[in-house]
């Protein structure tokens, strides 16, 4: 027992010190939690609606021969740019030259027959006064002239048709654009003259092109009801490997009905393509101005909280007390979010330390400055596109 007494005394002494320390901590008031606050960013922006669509050619022509025959020559390189009227193929013209020569011979014969009939009629009419010919004979010669005239007209028509067929052996481009590969090689017999004829190549127009996309019924109604401006039809487009909207087009057509299956309407814009970079069928991302420029209040997206269907932010009042503020978010703008209603430019919004803040709690605010980050652009057009976005006005 004598050896346990010192340990017991030390234990009691340590317990007494611990009790004294605990009593001092409980008497000290805890400090207010620190949070970062920022004034909303106020900028002049415009809303843009984003769409994904495809380019298409306003002209798509299947080139067919209008006559049948053996293909003699090809006069273009696959994929070449051609103008309307450029020679593309030659069909062996010799059979058609022979037909034209025969038709011209028949025309000459019909012309001679007409001349003979007119001469016979002229002689007969001179004999009428001497009563050396009957009226019946005169009428027969008049009929012969009319028959010869009809025969010459028919021969002329046959000659014209033969000349056309000979001309059709030179197959020219019906429209300007880019050719596909040739589908028939020289030496092959091609069928022509009807819609079932052999396709020799196809031509698609390359400048300008159409850009077609689908807009929702709500977007269509909003555009129809908004105040009309000069740039309401302007479309800005970027390609799959681009981060900026480098191609500008103009809306020229909207379909006459809403697709009941998808609830969308097909819209078409005309886009210049002078360098031929864009090919029909390529994918593109477009943005269309959805509003006029306006002064917007913006806060970080991370500062916006959800409370069921409501959206709110925490603000710090003049007494450094946290207050919830119900807001109406607008479109995103980079790392920021437009606030359409519920905030004032002078409100101090908690942007960091939200988890330490509660309504009615006193905090220690640290004022920081909001910084806009570059608007994120997806690198692949298969990623989801936002329905709309707000872009600042470039000064």
Adjacent-strand bridge partners of 45: 294, 392
Write out the two tokens for 204. 């698609």
Instruction: For domain 93-168, give the CATH number.
Output: 1.10.287.470
CATH topology of domain 51-58+205-289: Elongation Factor Tu (Ef-tu); domain 3 (2.40.30)
The CA distance from 377 to 240, in Å, is 11
Task: Give DSSP secondary structure letters for 105-164.
Answer: HHHHHHHHHHHHHHHHHHHHHHTTTTT-S-HHHHHHHHHHHHHHHHHHHHHHHHHHHHHH
Contacts of 269 (CB under 8 A, 6+ apart): 210, 211, 212, 233, 235, 237, 249, 250, 251, 252, 286
Q: What is the β-pairing status of strands 41-56 and 283-289?
A: antiparallel
Per-residue pLDDT of the chain (395 residues; tens, 9 = 90+): 344 444 443 344 444 433 444 433 333 235 788 888 889 888 887 777 888 999 999 889 999 998 999 999 999 889 888 888 899 999 999 999 999 999 999 999 888 988 988 888 888 877 766 677 777 788 888 898 899 889 999 999 999 999 999 999 999 999 888 899 898 889 899 988 777 788 999 999 888 999 999 988 888 887 777 655 545 578 889 998 888 888 999 888 888 899 899 888 998 999 999 888 888 899 999 888 766 677 888 888 888 888 888 999 899 998 899 999 999 888 787 788 888 888 888 889 888 888 888 888 888 898 988 887 755 444 333 333 445 555 555 54
Query: CATH topology of 62-91+170-204 equal to that of 93-168?
Result: no
Q: Which pLDDT does position 112 carry in this prediction?
A: 92
Q: Model-level pTM?
A: 0.61
Domain 34-49+293-392 class, CATH top level: mainly beta
Considering the four listed CATH numbers 2.40.50.100, 3.40.50.10260, 3.30.420.40, 1.20.1250.20, the one that applies to the domain covering 62-91+170-204 is: 2.40.50.100
For the chain, what are the domain ranges?
34-49+293-392, 51-58+205-289, 62-91+170-204, 93-168
């Amino acid at each position: 027992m004598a050896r346990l007494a010192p340990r017991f005394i030390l234990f009691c002494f340590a317990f007494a010190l611990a009790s004294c320390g605990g009593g001092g901590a409980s008497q000290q008031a805890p400090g207010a939690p620190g949070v970062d606050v920022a004034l909303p960013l106020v900028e002049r922006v415009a809303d843009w609606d984003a769409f994904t669509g495809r380019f298409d050619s306003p002209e798509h022509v299947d080139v067919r021969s209008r006559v049948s025959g053996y293909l003699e020559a090809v006069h273009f390189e696959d994929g070449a740019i051609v103008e309307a009227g450029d020679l593309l193929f030659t069909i062996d013209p010799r059979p058609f030259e022979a037909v034209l020569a025969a038709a011209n011979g028949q025309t000459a014969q019909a012309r001679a027959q007409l001349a003979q009939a007119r001469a016979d009629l002229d002689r007969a009419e001179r004999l009428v006064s001497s009563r050396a010919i009957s009226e019946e004979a005169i009428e027969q010669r008049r009929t012969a002239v009319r028959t010869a005239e009809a025969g010459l007209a028919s021969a002329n028509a046959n000659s014209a048709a033969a000349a056309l067929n000979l001309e059709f052996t030179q197959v020219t481009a019906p429209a300007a654009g880019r050719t596909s590969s040739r589908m028939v090689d020289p030496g092959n017999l091609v069928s022509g003259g009807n819609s079932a004829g052999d396709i020799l190549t196809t031509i698609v127009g390359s400048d300008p092109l159409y850009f077609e996309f689908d807009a929702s019924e709500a977007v269509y109604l909003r555009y129809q009801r908004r105040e009309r401006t000069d740039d309401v039809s302007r479309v800005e487009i970027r390609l799959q490997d681009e981060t900026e909207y480098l191609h500008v087009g103009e809306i020229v057509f909207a379909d006459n009905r809403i697709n009941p299956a998808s609830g969308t309407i097909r819209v078409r814009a005309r886009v210049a393509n002078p360098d031929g970079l864009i090919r029909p069928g390529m994918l593109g991302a477009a943005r269309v101005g959805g509003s006029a420029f306006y002064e917007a209040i913006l806060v970080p997206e991370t500062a916006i909280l959800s409370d069921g269907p409501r959206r709110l932010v925490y603000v710090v009042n003049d007494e450094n007390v946290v207050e919830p503020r119900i807001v109406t978010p607008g479109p995103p703008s980079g790392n920021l979010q437009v606030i359409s209603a519920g905030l004032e430019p002078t409100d101090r919004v908690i942007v960091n330390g939200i988890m330490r803040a509660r309504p009615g709690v006193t905090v220690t605010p640290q004022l920081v400055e909001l910084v806009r980050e570059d608007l994120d652009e997806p690198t692949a057009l298969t990623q989801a596109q936002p329905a709309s976005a707000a872009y600042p006005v470039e000064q």
